Amino acid sequence: MKTLFRLCIGLSMILISACHRPADAKPQAGRPKNVILFIGDGMGLAQVQAAQLASDEPLNLLKANSIGFATTRSADHDVTDSGAGGTAIATGFKTRNGMIGMKPDSTEVPGMVELFAQKGYSTGVVVSCALTHATPASFLAHAVNRNLYEEIAADILQSPVDVLIGGGLKNFTARKDGRTLTKEMEDKGFTFLNHIPEKLMPDWKKLLIVTDSGHPEKVQNGRGDHLPKGVELALKQLSKNPKGFFLMVEGSQIDWACHANDSSYLIAEMMDFDQAIGRALHFQEKNPETLIVVTADHETGGLTFPKGAIKGSYRCDFSTGDHTGVAVPVYAFGPGAELFTGFYDNTDLIKKIMELTEGK
């Protein structure tokens, strides 16, 4: 009973910290010019708490102005996969597990990258997985099956996106159809790089940065600051547009750590994700017309803390190696953050974001 009480207190502190507005996190008036959407794949409240317990400093995530919760079921299942979860967030439509950027009847629907581009915004996607993987693909492509990686890569060629940073080079180059999509994207005005540069060049208009043949490594295996550095570079490039920008960032491997029931892998990926959020918050300090929203497509692992001492170690236990159907947290910073409080469906996220940027 005491252990349960400590767990409840810990989770309550996560909620209280997120709901409380620190003195340096005053709500901004007006509509956002820029929108940064962070998706922690597989991140529930317990994953956030695990990272906070492992950190000597408060997480950047917990500096949020506002917190809400989003339900995550798909069109055909109470437990979503990342394809349907990403599609719900990106487009506002539920779909069947496994589908990307489509309604259940296979009708293609535009996502936030397309919608913001139509309004004259610059757009970008930065991830710690292959760019053709389920969540980024939900923002960039349309496919009946999330595993059609080469088809998804070809569809990305048609996306109006301006900045792409992630892995998955083999799906663009070592293809069955013989096409070299990196060359085709260069022909469309992209600068193609296989590393994240230290600085931007003045003549770069669009960026395709693909750092790995497949997925980038784990942080524990030497990925380094791929995600935080990628966010910082993308923000510099996208902010050249006086109209504004939309950027989606995914902490992709939080999910994989929880599938593996590996708490050390999880904490390393959560800390990396939080560092990326910190880079965005630093940008927001100088650009207060920026809205930052952090959420998840689903929770993975059914993470719990059955034992622990306030001044000692905690034990993480997972109840499954798969996704769960629990609601996920939504943290928001900046102008319009108060709109993200409450309890709602993940399809409402795009509605809130587009409402705030309407007329911009």
Show which residues are catalytic: 82
φ, ψ at 308 (rounded to 5°):
175, 155
Decide: helix, strand or coil at residue 6.
helix
Q: For residue 71, what are the β-bridge partners? A: 345
8 A C-beta contact, residue 169 and residue 149: no
With CA atoms as reference, report the closest residue to 31 among 93, 90, 109, 119. Answer: 119
Question: Who's near 12: CB < 8 A, 6+ residues apart?
Answer: none
For residue 29 the two structure tokens come to 């008036």
β-pairing, 303-308 vs 206-210, is unpaired
Find the helix or strand (DSSP H, E) in which 285 lies. Answer: helix 263-286
DSSP annotation of 220 reads G
Question: Who's near 67: CB < 8 A, 6+ residues apart?
Answer: 15, 18, 19, 329, 330, 331, 332, 340, 341
The DSSP secondary structure of 136-166, one letter per residue, reads HHHHH--BS-TT-HHHHHHHHTTS--SEEEE
8 A C-beta contact, residue 61 and residue 44: no
